[in-house]
Structure 1
């Protein structure tokens, strides 16, 4: 990995900035070069939010995502405003169909229903960030699972650590399964 750019977009209250910060912190755990930026409207909850995390093995000369390799979209408005930002060649979309039900693309697209999993399995909507973080780590390969675990362990309160680590593992598991399904689908499309 020379340089990987991730862009996260949604609305305030979804944890968009938290996801970008977790990715940055996990990369620092592996002594990688990192740049993280964010922007949001004056509305604290419900307003537009986006964040970027740039990770590299080499010095980062420009701190912003110029051509995001991965675009994580968590709302309809985010899709409308940022869909065009994804890298043209080999760019990958990651969405949560819980909040972005209708999303069409010909590019590689991972749908991670993190909010739904958080409610159904953990009875805690707020844990969806950790599920999504685990899925992002699995899909992008930006850091190891161990670094992701260490990041969660150093970020969340000790009394919620066990639950957060289970949510992280669920994110890994769900994305790993989805990667296999997408690989099979792509192989069928190539041979067709």
Structure 2
């Protein structure tokens, strides 16, 4: 599930693209996608997202995945072209180098921090903090909704992303959540 945070801090979900790679599983009903999860994060979701953002292991998995997993990276940022960061047009490779700075893996981040930075005029440094924080938040929020939907509809979450699988597994283990899930090898 791909999520985008609106300026008002609601979430807008885009249809999962895993089905594009496995149309036979969509046709057979083994991949279910397209659930509506748009709207603001509720208080429980904020708490659950913040728990992931405060977890050093989860953050290390995220940063390693962002650094080493090109597919995970592309799902968060289109770095093949220049991108707008804090009102400046920055070449994709230069933006990537700044986003991969090691301190980002441990820099304090919460939903409230990202909300506070969701404004039109940021310094370049603030804009990089916002972009990285937004990527963290989108990933953690997608997990929250995945867990909720899986429980509500008795689904087994499946991903073909090694990084998403590692992050999901960490969340389930840390929070003691018993939820069968699978990794689909590409």
Higher strand content, 1 or 2:
1
TM class, shorter-length: under 0.3
Normalised by the size of structure 2, how large is the TM-score?
0.24
- Could you say which structure has the higher helix fraction? 2
Which protein has greater RCO, CA pairs closer than 8 Å, 6+ apart? 2
State the TM-score, normalizing by the size of structure 1.
0.24
